[in-house]
Chains A and B, each alone.
Chain A
Amino acid sequence: MDRIDEKQILKKAAAGSSAAFEQLVLRYQTPVYNLCLRMMGNPEDAADMAQETFLKAWRSLESFHFESAFSTWLYRLASNACLDGLRAAKRRPSISLVTEDEDGDEHTLDLPDAAPSPEERLIAPEEQAQVAAAMQALAVEQRQILTLRVVNDLSYTEIAELLGVREGTVKSRLARAREQLRKKLLQTGNKTESKSSKDQQRKGGHSL
């Protein structure tokens, strides 16, 4: 889909054609999902945020005036959705995992192990799991900028526009993010996958 085709499709979608919008979804769902995955840290929340992103895009498509690339605009929506989602998750009260029985003795709730199962660890390449864990150890802004540049292949200019910063800032933030990722990857260990925010609510887990 070249730029001209995309423009025509965007116009149709903005005019109300869900069929045209679906073409955009098919085109951008993978990079949007990956951005959300890295920012949210788990597939469940990533899928929710991706859905929310596209729904927001559908609702506000008429406000897109081709001043930037559609992808830039879409990733901005995704980033904002994820940041809002993360902030909301932080605000949720944490529930104590410790209960008291009738005698007043404390017991810790027995929660299912959220670590990858043996089968999952065998299936998922170790390196992928390490990358995921290392990324989760970074600040969300670092996860965001690394995903935008390395996974979604946005240029410094596009990232600068998306984040509303200068290109020099993009350059320095990327450098810090890469350095941090490099350091985390050098640390070996079994980091568990982060629980989805829903799981944490249901199970009374800790907040993000």
Chain B
Amino acid sequence: MNCNNYIPLLSAHLDGANSEIEERRLQEHLRTCKHCRELLAQMERADDALKDSAAAPPPDLTEKIMAQVRAEPKKKRRYFFPAAAALATAAMLTLVFSGKIPVLDRENAAPPVSTELVDTVQTDDEQTPSSPTQTVYGASDTEIASEPTETVKPTETAETTESTTPPSESPKESEPSSEPTEPPTEVETEGTTMDTTVGTTVEPPQTSEPYRPTEPTEPTEPTEPNEGSSSLPTFAVTPGNAEPLSVPYFYEDGTIRTEAPMLILWDADPSELEPLRGQEPIEFSEEDAGIRTPSQGKKDETLFEKLLSAMPLKKKPVGSLLPVSSLPSLHVYSLPYETLSELFESCLGSYELAVYYPDTLNEADNCLILLVSTLSASSKS
């Protein structure tokens, strides 16, 4: 047999890929053919030289790759939540809002808009009982608009929890919904429908088509809360064409315009949050934040006062405003999106969270506000 016919067997021998018969045939041939023994040795040396010549990648390759990755439009996030049994302490806060959960879509980016605080009353009318640790603040007999793309189902991991509990009878905080505030005149108002959820369940969108934000709509009209229920504020956040890490601007009417992902630590200790190491909070005055004194009327209720209403820190008489001195600690950070994501994941199960997404995109990172609190369901009374 021609030695060339043994070349495939020689090569496969190096990979241990010959069948038993083929290997036996090869070994028999090698016993008598010096040329093929030499061929095998040369192939072996070539293999070794090739392995040894494997190069290390440039030291900055990972950095360059990740810079490109981070510059990409953000993907629709699907959160993995810890199992209900693993939630040891604070209840997972579920604030459900109207509108769709946006899929990042650059092409439909809306021009910059300020945030608007829109009082709507919405809950998921399909909530099912699940984890006893789940709470919907202030929600009772209310309904939410449900859209196919915003429904969530548990993921397949063991880390997911079931859907939200049905709205509970909560202490009445029946402040009438305020009128939606007018956006500042210098800012276009479009696409203010906001989409936020901090659900304990997440599911991929039910449609295979990427979600595209709806056409810009007027802010949702506030609805009268049902008797005995409280309104949950809905925050509309749309990023501007942002410098990353720009300082959020607090308007007089209590709305927030933020051009970068923002963290609001509500009565939570920043020193306990690892991702915040080295981060500096934003300096702002109480005036900037629109935190008003109790002497001012409820009509001028600011964003943070509305937050207070939505997330009661302590029992307060209906209709009263908390004095400034009793307000919880407030730390505001402007953070890169990745830090915020990291923070979100590390806070799961230990903090109460509310996440606010914009429903449109621009060139900057997807802007969101993350609200973190140490409140637990038991602190509500």
Give residues in A with beta carbon < 8 Å to B. Answer: 8, 11-12, 14-19, 21-22, 25-26, 29-30, 33-34, 37, 43, 47, 50-51, 54-55, 58-59, 62, 127-128, 130-132, 134-135, 146-147, 149-151, 156, 171-172, 174-176, 178-179, 181-182, 185-186
What is the chain A residue whose CB lies nearest that of B159? A8
What is the chain B residue whose CB lies nearest that of A128? B53
How many cross-chain pairs have Cβ atoms below 8 Å apart between A and B? Answer: 133
Task: Name 13 A/B residue pairs within 8 A (Cβ), A-sorted.
Answer: A18-B70, A34-B55, A50-B65, A54-B69, A55-B65, A58-B69, A58-B72, A62-B75, A127-B52, A128-B49, A135-B50, A151-B51, A178-B43
Closest CB in chain B relative to A28 CB, distance in Å = 10
Closest CB in chain B relative to A46 CB, distance in Å = 8
What is the chain B residue whose CB lies nearest that of A151? B54
- Contact yes or no, B65 A178, CB < 8 A: no
Number of interface residues, chain B, beta carbon within 8 A: 44
Q: Is B21 an interface position by the 8 A CB rule? A: no
- Contact yes or no, B62 A25, CB < 8 A: yes
Closest CB in chain B relative to A156 CB, distance in Å = 6
> Could you tell me the dominant secondary structure of chain A's interface residues?
helix
What is the chain A residue whose CB lies nearest that of B50? A150
Within 8 A of A (CB), among B38-72: 39, 42-43, 45-47, 49-58, 61-62, 64-66, 68-70, 72
Q: A14 — which chain B residues lie within 8 A by C-beta?
A: 75
- Contact yes or no, B43 A29, CB < 8 A: no
Complex: how many Å from CA A150 to CA B56? 16
Complex: how many Å from CA A67 to CA B68? 27
> Could you tell me the dominant secondary structure of chain B's interface residues?
helix
- Contact yes or no, B75 A25, CB < 8 A: no
Complex: how many Å from CA A165 to CA B62? 32
Flag B121-150 by CB within 8 Å of A: 1 or 0 each.
000000000000000000000000000000
Q: A58 — which chain B residues lie within 8 A by C-beta?
A: 69, 72
Complex: how many Å from CA A93 to CA B10? 42
Closest CB in chain A relative to B64 CB, distance in Å = 6
What is the chain B residue whose CB lies nearest that of A59? B72
Q: B70 — which chain A residues lie within 8 A by C-beta?
A: 18
Complex: how many Å from CA A179 to CA B79? 52
- Contact yes or no, A16 B76, CB < 8 A: yes
Q: Is B287 an interface position by the 8 A CB rule? A: no
What is the chain B residue whose CB lies nearest that of A8? B157
Complex: how many Å from CA A55 to CA B73? 12
- Contact yes or no, B50 A131, CB < 8 A: yes
Q: Is B12 an interface position by the 8 A CB rule? A: yes
Q: A25-B62, A59-B72 in contact; A186/B42 too (CB < 8 A)?
A: yes
Complex: how many Å from CA A134 to CA B46? 10
Complex: how many Å from CA A19 to CA B62? 12
